């Protein structure tokens, strides 16, 4: 039986994929990536992301990303509420996301981020959906929000916190997303977590077109010279080789474990037909 993978975080709806979006999907399927979860990032994209994923039979999430909170409006929360209600029976709608907090990017209003984060946690709870979290120097604040407003678990995307923070997310019903950053030898904390956390805490992701793995990475000089690197969901099996090596697993065991974890924390993520 062929190895089947789930990419739990892929911005396939991003403009970077506009020139060859269908080819990107075909390469993913050919690589064994049967499903890739596409989280929206702003209300202006909700309908188009939903339509794109429904046409392709791929799972999606709807939410307002913290980096998009400067232009977000309070009315966008009403739009999200309405779309979640309308899609309640849609098997492809698997979560509210990408939501969260970002205290790395300068110039973002922390209070405004917190407002949209808390409001979207409440919507996730109201609609009985898990959440896909953007975690960037914000683990403790995200955890505090989850304790105030519990949800049905979900995924802490691109996790790079402490073991204590990781355990706290797991205790709240979350899995932790590992992707391209894992492939860098200098990513000692991420690799340590991937090796030592309970097996049920791990899911795989690409964050395509972002967070390229080591073999796609470009130096600042290369980027300044105009070179461009684009991550794709088809890279997931090779990223998984790093996780397998760190855990001492076979690739088949890695695929089975991470896919089962993804389906546990995103219960509507049914196996592909």
pLDDT confidence of residue 1: 62
Question: Measured between alpha carbons, how far is 163 from 156 in angstroms, rounded to an integer?
Answer: 13
pLDDT above 70 covers what percent of the chain? 99
Question: Measured between alpha carbons, how far is 227 from 241 in angstroms, rounded to an integer?
Answer: 26
Q: Do 110 and 103 touch, CB atoms closer than 8 A?
A: yes
pLDDT confidence of residue 224: 79
Task: Give the bridge partners for 35, in sequence order.
Answer: 6
Confidence grade of residue 223 (pLDDT, cut at 50, 70, 90):
confident
- Domains of the chain by start residue, with CATH: 5-265 (3.20.20.140)
Question: Measured between alpha carbons, how far is 160 from 156 in angstroms, rounded to an integer?
Answer: 9
pLDDT confidence of residue 179: 98
Q: Do 192 and 173 touch, CB atoms closer than 8 A?
A: no
pLDDT confidence of residue 4: 95
Six-digit token string for 143: 């955890």
pLDDT confidence of residue 273: 55
Question: Measured between alpha carbons, how far is 199 from 211 in angstroms, rounded to an integer?
Answer: 23
pLDDT higher than threshold 90 for residue 40: yes
Per-residue pLDDT, averaged over 122-134, amounts to 98
Q: Is the torsion defined by CA of 135, 99, 257, 200 positive or negative?
A: positive
Torsion of CA 16, 17, 19, 25, to 10 degrees: 170
1-34 pLDDT, tens digit each:
679 999 999 999 999 999 999 999 999 999 999 9
Strand order from edge to edge, sheet including 154-157: 38-39, 60-62, 93-102, 131-136, 154-157, 174-178, 202-204
pLDDT confidence of residue 86: 98
pLDDT confidence of residue 272: 64
Six-digit token string for 161: 């916190």
């Amino acid at each position: 039986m062929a190895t089947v993978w789930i990419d739990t975080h892929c911005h396939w709806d991003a403009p970077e994929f506009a020139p060859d979006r269908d080819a990107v999907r075909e390469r993913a399927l050919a690589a064994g990536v049967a499903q890739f979860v596409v989280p929206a990032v702003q209300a202006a994209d909700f309908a188009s992301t939903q339509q794109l994923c429904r046409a392709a039979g791929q799972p999606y999430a709807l939410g307002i990303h913290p980096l998009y909170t400067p232009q977000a409006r309070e009315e966008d929360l009403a739009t999200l509420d309405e779309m979640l209600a309308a899609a309640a029976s849609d098997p492809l709608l698997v979560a509210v996301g990408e939501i969260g907090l970002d205290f790395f990017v300068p110039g973002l209003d922390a209070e405004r981020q917190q407002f949209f984060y808390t409001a979207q946690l409440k919507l996730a709870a109201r609609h009985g959906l898990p959440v896909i979290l953007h975690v960037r120097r914000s683990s403790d604040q995200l955890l505090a929000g989850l304790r105030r407003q519990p949800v049905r678990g979900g995924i802490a995307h691109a996790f790079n916190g402490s073991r204590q923070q990781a355990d706290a997310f797991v205790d709240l019903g979350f899995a932790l997303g590992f992707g391209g950053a894992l492939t860098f030898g200098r990513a000692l904390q991420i690799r340590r977590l991937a090796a030592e956390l309970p097996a049920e805490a791990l899911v795989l992701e690409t964050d395509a077109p972002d967070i390229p793995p080591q073999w796609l990475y470009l130096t600042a000089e290369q980027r300044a010279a105009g070179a461009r690197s684009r991550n794709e969901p088809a890279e997931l099996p090779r990223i998984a080789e790093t996780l397998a090596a760190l855990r001492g697993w076979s690739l088949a065991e890695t695929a089975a474990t991470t896919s089962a974890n993804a389906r546990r924390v995103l219960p509507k993520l049914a196996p592909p037909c």
